[in-house]
A and B are shown apart, each in its own frame.
Chain A
Amino acid sequence: MSKKASGDPGDPASGESMHGEPSAATGIDDQLIDLLSLPADEVRRRRAASQLDPQSLRQAEQAAAVYSVASLPKIEALPAALESRLLEDAKRFARASAQSEAPSARAAPGPPPAIGRSRWFALSGYALAASIAVLAVLLRPLSPQVQPGVPAQPLVGKQALHVAWTPGPDATGAQVSGQVVWDPQSNRGYMVFKGLAANDAARQQYQLWVFDAQRDARYPVDGGVFNVADGQAEIRVPITPKLHVGQATAFVVTVEKPGGVVVSDRSRVAAVATVG
Chain B
Amino acid sequence: MINDAADAADAAAVKPALLARVAAGDEAAMRECIKVYGPLIWSLARRSCQQHGDAEDAVQEIFIELWKVSAKFDDALGSEATFVSMLARRRLIDRFRRRLPVEIDIDDTELSDDAAAMTALDHDIDFATVRRGLQRLRPEERRVLDLSFTFGLSQSEIVTQTGLPLGTVKSHARRGLASLREWMGVSARASAPAADEDES
Contacts and interface: CB of A to CB of B under 8 A. Distances in A.
Interface of A: 1-6, 9-14, 17-19, 21, 26, 29-30, 32-34, 36-40, 58-79, 82-83, 85-87, 89-91, 93-94, 97-98, 101, 112-113, 115-124, 126-127, 130-131, 134, 138, 214-216, 218-219, 243-244, 246
Contacts of A1: 133, 136-137, 141, 175, 179
A12 B170 contact: yes
Contact of A82 (B27, B59, B78, B138): B59
Given A11-B167, A64-B89, A78 B42 contact: yes
A7 to B, nearest CB: 10
B45 to A, nearest CB: 10
B199 A3 contact: yes
The interface residues of chain B, by DSSP majority, are classed as helix
Given A82-B42, A115-B20, A123-B69, A91 B27 contact: yes
B98 interface: yes
B25 A72 contact: no
A188 to B, nearest CB: 14
A93 B69 CA distance: 12
B14 to A, nearest CB: 13
Contacts of A78: 34, 38-39, 42, 59
A95 to B, nearest CB: 8
Contacts of B166: 12
Given A87-B34, A122-B72, A2 B46 contact: no
B64 A138 contact: yes
B72 A73 contact: no
Contacts of B148: 33, 36-37, 64
Nearest to A81: B56
A73 B34 contact: no
Interface of B: 1-2, 8, 17, 19-20, 23-27, 30-31, 33-34, 38-40, 42-44, 46-47, 51-54, 56-57, 59-60, 63-64, 67-75, 77-78, 82-83, 85-86, 88-91, 93-94, 97-99, 108-112, 114, 117-118, 121-122, 125, 127, 130-131, 133-134, 136-138, 140-142, 145-146, 148-150, 152-155, 164-168, 170-182, 184, 198-200
A66 B130 contact: yes
Contact of B177 (A38, A39, A60): A60
Nearest to B165: A10
A33 B56 contact: no
A16 B84 CA distance: 32
A127 B25 CA distance: 10
Nearest to A5: B175
Given A11-B167, A82-B56, A134-B67, A115 B23 contact: yes
B111 A73 contact: yes
Given A70-B131, A75-B2, 6 more contacts: A9-B175, A40-B94, A64-B177, A71-B111, A75-B8, A94-B30
A9 B165 CA distance: 11
B98 A218 contact: yes
Contacts of A97: 25
Contact of B77 (A34, A58, A127, A243): A58
Contacts of A134: 64, 67-68
A121 B30 CA distance: 22
A89 B117 CA distance: 25
22 contacts: A5-B175, A32-B177, A37-B154, A64-B86, A69-B118, A71-B134, A71-B146, A71-B150, A72-B47, A74-B114, A76-B39, A77-B1, A78-B42, A82-B59, A85-B56, A93-B27, A101-B25, A116-B70, A119-B72, A127-B23, A134-B67, A219-B98
